[in-house]
Amino acid sequence: MATKKTAKIRGQLPSPQPLAFPESEFSRFWKSKLVELESAKREHEERWGVGRLINLVDVEFRIKVWTQVERVWAAQESQNIDKARAAADGMIRAMRAMEQWATAEGIAPVGEVKAIEWEMDDGGVLAVVSTEADAAAYHRMRPDVEDRNVWSIQEIAKMLEAGLGNDIARLKATIGMPATVVSVQANGSGFDDFGNDLDLDAPASAPKMFPADMKPFEKME
- pLDDT > 50? residue 102: yes
Least confident of 27-41, 75-89, 172-186: 172-186
Range of the domain at 165: 115-184
pLDDT of residue 69: 93
101 and 132 belong to one structural domain: no
Boundary (domain end) residue, out of 58, 81, 109:
109
- How many domains is the chain partitioned into structurally? 2
Beta bridge partners of 150: 127
143 and 80 belong to one structural domain: no
Q: What backbone torsions phi and psi does residue 136 show, to the nearest 5 degrees? A: -65, -40
pLDDT bucket at 139, cuts 50 / 70 / 90: confident
Least confident of 59-63, 135-139, 142-146, 207-211: 207-211
Residue 196 lies in a domain: no
103 and 130 belong to one structural domain: no
pLDDT of residue 85: 95
Least confident of 48-62, 140-154, 200-214: 200-214
| Integer-rounded Cα radius of gyration of the chain | 19
What is the longest distance spanned by two Cα atoms in the chain?
62
86 and 129 belong to one structural domain: no
pLDDT of residue 38: 92
37 and 95 belong to one structural domain: yes
